[in-house]
Amino acid sequence: MTIAIYPGTFDPITNGHIDIATRASSLFEHLIVAVYDRPLKNLLFSTMERVSMAGEALKELPNVTVQAYSGLTVRFARSVGARVIVRGLRALSDFELEFQMALTNRKLAPEIDTVCLITSQEYTFLSSSVIKEIAMVGGCVDAMVPQHVARALKEKFHSLGSEAGSKVQIVSLRD
């Protein structure tokens, strides 16, 4: 049985991520969407929130599970018996980083291969950071994320706003 992991930050999961996970789920017997708990970037949602939103978004796919992980991606892949790391490519700008990561991971774990799936055309422009920026200023993200994620974004920015008012600095949401 070929197990694949689809690692990422998923802060939050978008329709672009769902498209990649759905397509990967038809290529591999078991796909684990692996939510990295502490990336080197600012997060809006906690690990639990990101796992729960991804789980809800992918619940119709019987061979897909969602799990949080920390530390090296290849170490996590080995721990679950995965031989494949799935990543998504939107544009040429994604390629350089993915290429570098794939080669690094190959050096660390030669038995694990990276498979990059090309985004579907309608999701080329979609990223979690763009969605957060739109939601932060009250824009509508309904066509870009599942309903429960749109709701969570609204609630999150509402609570951040009312918690700390103008003191909240949500300036570096870019991924």
Which sequence positions are flagged as catalytic? 17, 41, 90, 128
Q: Among residue numbers 73 through 132, which ones bind ligand ADP (CB under 6 A)?
A: 87-88, 90, 94, 119, 123, 126-128
For residue 167, the 8-state DSSP code is G
Q: How far is the CB of 4 from ligand ADP (least distance, A)?
A: 13
Distance CA(51)–CA(45), nearest Å, equals 10
By CB under 6 A, is residue 175 in contact with ligand ADP?
A: yes
For 20, 80, 97, 105, 135, the CA distances from 151, given in Å and listed in that order, are 22, 32, 31, 36, 10
The contact mask relative to ligand ADP for 6-45 (x = CB under 6 A, - = no) is --xxx---x-xx--x------------------x------
Q: Which is nearer to ligand ADP, 37 or 175 (CB)?
A: 175
For 145, phi then psi, to 5°, come to -140, 160
- Burial class of 24 by CB neighbour count within 10 A (0 to 12, 13 to 18, 19+): buried
Q: Which is nearer to ligand ADP, 45 or 157 (CB)?
A: 45
Binding site for ligand ADP (CB under 6 A): 8-10, 14, 16-17, 20, 39, 87-88, 90, 94, 119, 123, 126-128, 175
